[in-house]
Amino acid sequence: MTEKLIDRYGNKFERLKLMITVVERGLGDKVVRELRYLGVTYNMASVAYGAVGLDLRDMLGLTENECEVVLSVLTESKTKAALSMIEYKFALNEPDNGLAFCIPIDGVGGPLSLKYISGTSNREEEGRI
CB of 111 closer than 8 Å to CB of 38: no
CATH topology for the 4-123 domain: Alpha-Beta Plaits (3.30.70)
Tens of pLDDT, residues 63-82: 666 788 999 999 888 999 99
Instruction: Give the model's pLDDT for residue 60.
Output: 59
- Mean pLDDT across 92-117: 80
pLDDT, position 32: 94
* Pair 34, 86: CB distance under 8 Å: yes
Output helix, strand, coil percentages for the chain, rounded to the nearest 5: 35, 30, 35
Residue 123 has pLDDT above 70, yes or no: no
User: What residue segments make up the domains of the chain, in order of their start?
Assistant: 4-123
pLDDT score of 96: 77
What kind and span of H or E run contains 23? strand 16-24
What is residue 1's predicted lDDT score, i.e. its pLDDT?
A: 54
Residues 6+ apart with CB under 8 A from 4: 12, 13, 14
Q: What is the pTM of this model?
A: 0.75
